[in-house]
């Protein structure tokens, strides 16, 4: 692989693609650019190397990148994209992880370089499928399948599917209906397909370019027009009180501050519940408060609050298990507890998918330098069940914080009977960066995939009610201690995606593997034929 052989135009296209990919996610949120964001990268991969001869017009003919060059081009694009969308990792590590500025930058760089391997894998696979001819049809036809396969790998292998491409179209109600069949991956596929059509327009002779470009842009416009279609109103026959606690992440928890905070939260909850009347549910978020499920003070206040409000209560808390007989450490979990209107603590969900470097430290010896962050938020145990919590016949699919970015995991609550979804979160770790808005959009996609109302309750916001179309029906401003009376409904009908999971993504992975094996087999036979001749 020779970097010097990569034409300058390919590097400029890679930079353009990285910037466009940054812009399609919050906070910029220029979602319409999703239809063109990958096209420059695809063109760069297929027109990267000089062929050493001049066309009649005098322009230098370009041919596809070698597999190594394709990996490098896409890898650089991915590194820049992650840096531009996940920049908030620096502040999280710096402010709450106890790391120096230099070490926080190092962590961010390592994070970007690690996850950019998936962009690099995408480029590598396209490079293997391409050849030195000017017939790009085979590689272009395979590109949407390869992209989805790589997204699946990002979800399943490293467990960080943050900002999957299809999420950029979460406001497009008409287009997003496909997610009920394919999950978010089907939307990613459609977006890449349009990008491929656009890229193809720059890979054909100039006399054909205008017609192909017009067709690609027309397809993008038609699909984007789905955003203009108003989805029908969703039925909501229930009311929940969502409490936005707005507790600072770095609060100094003296006994006085603890009692004062707990009392204030209980009082505003009871007052709001009485004003709203006939509530079905009250939800407190995941928060940085040291609310332990075995703390008698905390239990007494929440039980009294449920009694006075006459409603079921879901509260984020630290689930505590005492040491077992005969020795052993006590264990804590990031949990959501369910309290009945009679004040009884009935069930608890313990978070299954923990945040690395936040809720546990992977490979402690290797990453001992990041221990400050783990010290700040604790070393949690892992739950083992995604069974819904039973609130008097309402089946609550409760999941915590970034579990909402895992499509297949959330849909498991629905397959086990959840008729409404609840996400409790603490997005205060992200500050005012775009992470809170990115998180909300991914949570909204889970409502669409599973055709469920979803109550999103965050410590600092965004606290909102989301209907099965993924629309935010009502919300409250961030960074305020306040409550929201949120409508929601119960649904028993499951979507194809809820029942069958990531079948579409796996199909794309199988197709990609088949195309790759066919290409490599053909290449080997051609080499053998060349050798024998």
Give the lowest-confidence range in 5-19, 95-109, 407-421.
95-109
User: Long-range contacts of range 94-103, CB-CB < 8 Å, 24 or more positions apart?
Assistant: 95/249, 95/250, 95/431, 96/249, 96/250, 96/373, 96/376, 96/377, 96/429, 97/357, 97/370, 97/372, 97/373, 97/376, 98/371, 98/372, 98/373, 98/375, 98/376, 99/369, 99/370, 99/372, 99/373, 103/369
- The residues near 374 (Cβ < 8 Å, ≥ 6 apart) are 357, 358, 360, 361
Distances (CA, A) of 493 to 235, 366, 498: 14, 47, 10
DSSP labels, 258-293: HHHHHHHHHHHHHHHHHHH-S-SEEEEPP-SS--BT
Q: What angle do CA 299, 300, 303 make, to 5 degrees?
A: 80
Active-site position among 86, 351, 359, 508: 351
Q: Is residue 17 part of a domain?
A: yes
Same domain, 244 and 222: no
Using the predicted structure, report yes or no on whether residue 56 has a pLDDT greater than 70. no
Same domain, 301 and 212: no
Average pLDDT, integer, range 386-393: 96
Which domain does 148 fall in, by range?
Answer: 3-230+503-522
Same domain, 265 and 122: no
The answer to whether 323 and 438 have CB atoms below 8 angstroms apart is no
351 is a catalytic site residue: yes
- Please tell me the predicted confidence (pLDDT) of residue 53: 46
Same domain, 324 and 215: no
How confident is residue 355, by pLDDT bands cut at 50, 70 and 90? Answer: confident
Same domain, 185 and 280: no
Average pLDDT, integer, range 252-281: 96
Same domain, 283 and 426: yes
Average pLDDT, integer, range 330-359: 92
Q: For residue 356, what is the DSSP state?
A: B
The answer to whether 426 and 459 have CB atoms below 8 angstroms apart is yes
Closest to 184 in 3D by CA, of 158, 157, 147, 221: 147
Q: Is residue 492 part of a domain?
A: no
Using the predicted structure, report yes or no on whether residue 388 has a pLDDT greater than 80. yes
310 is a catalytic site residue: no
Closest to 341 in 3D by CA, of 269, 263, 282: 282
Number of domains in the chain: 2
- Please tell me the predicted confidence (pLDDT) of residue 322: 59
Same domain, 407 and 468: yes
Q: Is residue 495 part of a domain?
A: no
Same domain, 433 and 284: yes
Same domain, 514 and 445: no
- The residues near 96 (Cβ < 8 Å, ≥ 6 apart) are 249, 250, 373, 376, 377, 429
What span, in angstroms and rounded, lies between the C-alpha atoms of 420 and 413?
9
What span, in angstroms and rounded, lies between the C-alpha atoms of 195 and 219?
10
- Please tell me the predicted confidence (pLDDT) of residue 358: 73
Q: Is residue 498 part of a domain?
A: no
The answer to whether 522 and 514 have CB atoms below 8 angstroms apart is no
What span, in angstroms and rounded, lies between the C-alpha atoms of 181 and 185?
10
Using the predicted structure, report yes or no on whether residue 315 has a pLDDT greater than 70. yes
pLDDT digits (tens, 9 = 90+) for 278-297: 999 999 999 999 999 999 99
What span, in angstroms and rounded, lies between the C-alpha atoms of 453 and 60?
56
DSSP three-state, residue 455: strand
For residue 387 the two structure tokens come to: 């069974």
Q: Is residue 528 part of a domain?
A: no
pLDDT digits (tens, 9 = 90+) for 476-520: 999 999 999 999 999 999 999 999 999 999 999 999 999 999 888
What span, in angstroms and rounded, lies between the C-alpha atoms of 184 and 447?
11
Give the lowest-confidence range in 2-11, 59-68, 78-87, 411-420.
59-68
pLDDT digits (tens, 9 = 90+) for 441-473: 999 999 999 999 999 999 998 999 999 999 999
Active-site position among 151, 401, 403, 508: 401
For residue 424 the two structure tokens come to: 């409790």
How confident is residue 323, by pLDDT bands cut at 50, 70 and 90? Answer: very low
- Please tell me the predicted confidence (pLDDT) of residue 57: 40
Same domain, 379 and 452: yes
Q: Is residue 256 part of a domain?
A: yes
How confident is residue 529, by pLDDT bands cut at 50, 70 and 90? Answer: low
Same domain, 31 and 175: yes
- Please tell me the predicted confidence (pLDDT) of residue 360: 74
What span, in angstroms and rounded, lies between the C-alpha atoms of 529 and 521?
12
How confident is residue 135, by pLDDT bands cut at 50, 70 and 90? Answer: low
* pTM metric for this prediction: 0.93
What span, in angstroms and rounded, lies between the C-alpha atoms of 386 and 397?
8
- The residues near 8 (Cβ < 8 Å, ≥ 6 apart) are none
Average pLDDT, integer, range 253-269: 96
- Please tell me the predicted confidence (pLDDT) of residue 321: 77
DSSP labels, 391-427: ETTEEEEEEEGGGGG-HHHHHHHHHTT-SEEEEEE-G
Q: Is residue 349 part of a domain?
A: yes
For residue 258, how far is the Cα from the chain centroid? 33
- Please tell me the predicted confidence (pLDDT) of residue 328: 55
- Please tell me the predicted confidence (pLDDT) of residue 401: 94
Q: For residue 466, what is the DSSP state?
A: E
Q: Is residue 496 part of a domain?
A: no
- The residues near 9 (Cβ < 8 Å, ≥ 6 apart) are 44, 47, 62
- Please tell me the predicted confidence (pLDDT) of residue 59: 43
Same domain, 140 and 32: yes
CATH of the domain at 447: 3.60.110.10
């Amino acid at each position: 692989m020779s970097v010097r052989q990569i034409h300058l135009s390919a590097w400029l296209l890679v930079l353009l693609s990285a910037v466009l990919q940054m812009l399609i996610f919050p906070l910029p949120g220029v979602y319409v650019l999703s239809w063109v964001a990958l096209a420059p990268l695809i063109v760069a991969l297929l027109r990267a190397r000089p062929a050493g001869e001049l066309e009649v017009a005098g322009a230098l003919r370009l041919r596809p990148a070698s597999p190594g060059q394709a990996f490098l081009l896409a890898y650089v694009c991915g590194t820049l994209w992650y840096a531009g969308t996940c920049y908030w990792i620096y502040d999280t590590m710096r402010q709450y992880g106890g790391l120096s500025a230099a070490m926080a930058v190092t962590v961010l760089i390592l994070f970007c370089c690690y996850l950019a391997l998936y962009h690099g894998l995408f480029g590598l696979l396209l490079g293997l499928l391409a050849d030195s001819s000017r017939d790009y049809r085979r590689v272009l036809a395979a590109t949407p399948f390869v992209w989805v396969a790589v997204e699946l790998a990002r979800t399943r292998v490293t467990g960080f599917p943050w900002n999957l491409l299809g999420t950029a179209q979460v406001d497009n109600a008409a287009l997003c209906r496909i997610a009920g069949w394919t999950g978010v991956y089907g939307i990613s596929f459609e977006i890449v397909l349009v990008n491929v059509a656009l890229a193809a327009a720059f890979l054909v002779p100039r006399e054909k370019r205008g017609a192909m470009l017009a067709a690609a842009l027309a397809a993008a416009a038609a699909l984007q027009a789905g955003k203009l279609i108003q989805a029908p109103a969703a039925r909501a026959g229930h009311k929940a009180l969502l409490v936005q606690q707005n507790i600072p992440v770095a609060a100094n928890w003296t006994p006085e501050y603890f009692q004062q905070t707990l009392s204030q939260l209980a009082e505003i909850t009871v007052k709001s519940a009485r004003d709203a009347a006939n509530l079905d549910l009250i939800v407190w978020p995941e928060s940085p408060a040291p609310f332990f499920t075995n703390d008698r003070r905390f239990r007494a206040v929440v039980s009294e609050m449920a009694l006075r409000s006459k409603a079921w209560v879901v509260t984020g808390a630290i689930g505590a298990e005492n040491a077992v007989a005969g020795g052993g450490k006590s264990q804590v979990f990031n949990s959501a507890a369910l309290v009945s209107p009679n004040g009884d603590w009935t069930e608890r969900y313990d978070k299954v998918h923990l945040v690395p470097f936040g809720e546990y430290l992977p490979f402690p010896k290797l990453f001992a330098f990041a221990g400050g962050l783990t010290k700040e938020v604790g070393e949690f145990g892992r739950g083992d069940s995604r069974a819904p919590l039973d609130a008097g016949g309402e089946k609550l699919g409760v999941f915590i914080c970034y579990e909402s970015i895992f499509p297949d995991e959330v849909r498991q609550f629905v397959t086990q009977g959840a008729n409404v979804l609840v996400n409790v979160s603490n997005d205060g770790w992200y500050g005012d960066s775009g992470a809170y808005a990115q998180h909300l959009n991914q949570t909204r996609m889970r409502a669409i995939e599973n055709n469920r109302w979803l109550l999103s309750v965050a410590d600092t916001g965004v606290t909102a009610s989301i209907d099965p179309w993924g629309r935010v029906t009502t919300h409250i401003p961030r960074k305020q201690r306040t409550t929201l009376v949120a409508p929601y409904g119960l649904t028993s009908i499951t979507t194809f995606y809820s029942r069958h999971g990531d079948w579409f993504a796996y199909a794309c992975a199988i197709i990609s593997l088949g195309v790759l094996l066919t290409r490599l087999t053909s290449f080997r036979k051609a080499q053998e034929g060349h050798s024998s001749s």
